[in-house]
Amino acid sequence: MQLWAISGGSPLIPLSEFSDPATMKKYGVKPDPETLDIANTAAKQKEVMVVMKIYWGDPREKLCEAIDNIPLSCMVVGNRGLGTLKRAIMGSLSNYVVNNGSCPVTVVKHHGHD
């Protein structure tokens, strides 16, 4: 069975395993090193256990699905800061989740590096 055929996504993956090349090859993803660094730093500073879950498919629908399936009490999503025209053409993931998610959603605006 192919992993992407699993409707509920991957099992919860501990952050410590998320950097393991064999684990990531199993799921067919390549994690962003900067994102992993941010998650590891936050986990250490706040002394919390971080787990990740991989979903395959339309990100808008899968984020809303995750809210209900995990279940989440809140969600934080980023905003790339697209202009009005690009946002109209491509759609806004954060806007979709804010309007369709069943929990409070905080949108963190993109701030470009100077």
Q: Is the pTM of this model over 0.85?
A: no
Q: What is the C-alpha separation between 13 and 31, in angstroms, rounded?
A: 13
Contacts of 49 by beta carbon, 8 Å cutoff, 6+ apart: 14, 15, 43
Q: What angle do CA 21, 43, 31 make, to 5 degrees?
A: 25
Stretch 57-61: mean pLDDT:
90
Q: What is the C-alpha separation between 71 and 33, in angstroms, rounded?
A: 27
- The pLDDT value recorded for residue 70 is 85
Helices (H), the chain: 15-18, 21-27, 33-46, 59-69, 84-90, 93-100
Q: pLDDT tier at 3 (50, 70, 90 boundaries)? A: very low
Domain ranges of the chain: 1-56, 64-114
Yes or no: say if 52 and 17 are a contact pair by the CB < 8 Å rule: no
Q: What is the pLDDT of residues 9-53, one digit of tens each?
A: 888 889 988 878 888 888 888 888 888 898 899 899 999 888 888
